[in-house]
Chains A and B, each alone.
Chain A
């Protein structure tokens, strides 16, 4: 009997047992998938998108601007011509609310970006080096924490000259980074003991590479969550500054300054306070829902 030679070749499996059939999902894709399943968080995200469209695209659609006075038509109640009414100088409240939204949202995002950069840098260094450096850096944070932050916000605002948009962003950014620094430091401190960091170090990775490629990406979840929750608190803080008169100065507006203006005539014109207050409240809710959703998405262990 003659057997074909090829029958005696060892069978080599084309597909190894370890082979992964499906394309692998990155951490981000995984988190996004969980996030989209969360109805409340998605509602928050959609609301945020709506607010951003309202604030940034709305002014192109509406026929009023935020600064033209119309002294014959002050404090009009909401109507078809002026959907949110007019203010003390006859300016259209809806237009002002849109422009105010630009300012408030921009303050929220930019100040958190500043907060994020300082916090990640500071916390990263503190956590990475550990030991005495960490100790000193964390004591400094403890000291800053023991000062009521409003005190420093007010002082810095007065030092930097009140009212400038950029000044407000910078001040809110440099006052609020401590929480972020603490969280990043805690993460890095735990991550740097992991085997893959040791492996990378053995392969000769530089400190900068370790930080940027290995440590910070793995701490990204908590960083994103903290940022999402820091934005509404920055908007809140700006509202407070406007309330005490060192925030955005007229004719410019923010939701906070509109609410502060509306407050003054509340017995006669309650709607002047209602709309900006509602805008702030909706933004807060949306960010909080998104923040909570992010927390669940990045940290499935937290979920029940």
Chain B
């Protein structure tokens, strides 16, 4: 196990290095720099700016400097927000993004597993149709449309929840963004869970459990659910990636000052250090999530071994 973890961490570091380098190259191949605005900046000012942010250094030096800083978790100053570092932006924004992401995860996982199981248990009956209908809507509407509809109907027309704003994280402000972010994954999870649950329910061991006279909740909870969960765990990797990047849309629509906004604005602003910082952050999070998912496998399914055994 320890050896496996070390291996995975080493390969994660390698992946991050490649990704950061690739982003560096791509970013610098975009025409225009962080200080090219519509209004031309005077020559002398531009020189000073470039000297201050070291953008006039040769690219190789910039690259090495950046790598050394990243290794010390220092993502550098932003080009766009005067006097703030990328670390500051992340420190301010990440908790908000994480809150929404966490709530959306609970909503999507809880709701998806429940809806999927219900659909499978009442296969081809009304509950199945209802669950499938909900799942179908979730995958067929783009997230920004979903967010706008929720905002308009639940927030603006019915006035159930505030349509915009963060408001120091009051729970009423969190409901709509979490629903909007979770709408797509809940649909995916429902579909996956339905298929895998149907599959499991037809297995012999379920019939055995029934014929032993086990009560229904034990059959479902202990035998069916645990086995049906496996395909869901495979989906968790892409799921977290979606929650991470999907946040941009949701934060934009609901006006939440998280980090998702920087994801896009920093690219169009040529804010090199912010975009690099975002890349590092998102990729590291994703790598960590994927590792956790792989480890979670072994707990849910003891048949899966992380380290390959001899003769197995």
Contact = CB atoms under 8 A, between A and B. Distances in A.
Interface of A: 142-143, 146-152, 154-156, 158-159, 236, 239-240, 243-244, 246, 256, 259-260, 263, 266-267, 270, 273, 277, 280-282, 284-285, 288, 304
B193 interface: no
B249 interface: yes
Given A159-B29, A285-B136, A148 B144 contact: no
9 contacts: A142-B15, A147-B286, A151-B263, A155-B30, A263-B145, A273-B149, A277-B141, A280-B142, A285-B136
Contact of A240 (B144, B198, B275, B278): B144
A146 B145 contact: no
Interface in B252-291: 252, 263-264, 267-268, 275, 278-279, 282-283, 286-287, 290
Task: Please list the 4 inter-chain residue pairs (A to B) with the smallest Cβ-Cβ separation, ordered nearest first.
Answer: A284-B140, A281-B140, A150-B245, A239-B142
Given A159-B26, A159-B30, A244-B264, A147 B145 contact: no
A146 B142 contact: no
Contacts of B148: 263, 266, 273
Nearest to B284: A146
B23 A259 contact: no
Contact of B142 (A142, A143, A148, A240): A240
Contact of B152 (A270, A282, A304): A270
Q: Which of A244, A256, A260 has the most CB of B within 10 A?
A: A244
A146 B290 contact: yes
A151 B19 CA distance: 11
B105 to A, nearest CB: 16
A151 B29 contact: no
Contacts of A155: 23, 26-27, 30, 267, 275
B221 to A, nearest CB: 24
Contacts of B139: 284, 288
Main secondary structure of the interface of B (DSSP, over half): helix
Contacts of B140: 280-282, 284-285, 288
Contacts of A256: 142
Given A151-B282, A285-B136, A285-B140, A243 B249 contact: yes
Contacts of B18: 143
A304 B123 CA distance: 12
A150 B139 CA distance: 18
Interface of B: 15, 18-19, 23, 26-27, 29-30, 136-137, 139-145, 148-149, 152, 156, 198, 202, 241, 244-245, 248-249, 252, 263-264, 267-268, 275, 278-279, 282-283, 286-287, 290
B267 A148 contact: no
A285 B19 CA distance: 35
A156 B26 contact: yes
B29 A143 contact: no
Q: Which of B15, B202, B275 has the most CB of A within 10 A?
A: B15
Nearest to A236: B142
Contact of A147 (B136, B137, B202, B279): B279
B260 to A, nearest CB: 10
Contacts of A236: 142
A98 to B, nearest CB: 19
Given A143-B18, A146-B290, A285-B136, A277 B30 contact: no
Contact of A239 (B144, B278, B287): B144
Contact of A263 (B144, B245, B282): B144
A146 B19 contact: yes
Given A148-B241, A284-B139, 15 more contacts: A143-B19, A147-B283, A148-B283, A150-B263, A151-B23, A158-B30, A240-B143, A243-B144, A256-B142, A263-B145, A273-B145, A277-B149, A281-B137, A285-B140, A288-B139
Given A143-B19, A148-B282, A266 B141 contact: no
Contacts of A148: 241, 244-245, 282-283, 286
Contacts of B290: 146
A267 B156 contact: yes
Q: Which of B140, B143, B156, B241 has the most CB of A within 10 A?
A: B140
Contacts of A259: 142, 144-145
A146 to B, nearest CB: 5
B180 to A, nearest CB: 13
A255 B249 CA distance: 17
A161 to B, nearest CB: 9
Nearest to A287: B140
Contacts of B152: 266-267, 270
A146 B245 contact: no
Nearest to A292: B191
A290 to B, nearest CB: 13
A9 B136 CA distance: 71
A262 to B, nearest CB: 9
A287 to B, nearest CB: 9
Contacts of A158: 30, 267-268
Nearest to B279: A151
Contacts of B19: 143, 146-147
Nearest to B27: A155
Contacts of A156: 26
Nearest to B265: A244
Q: Which of B19, B30, B252, B264 has the most CB of A within 10 A?
A: B264
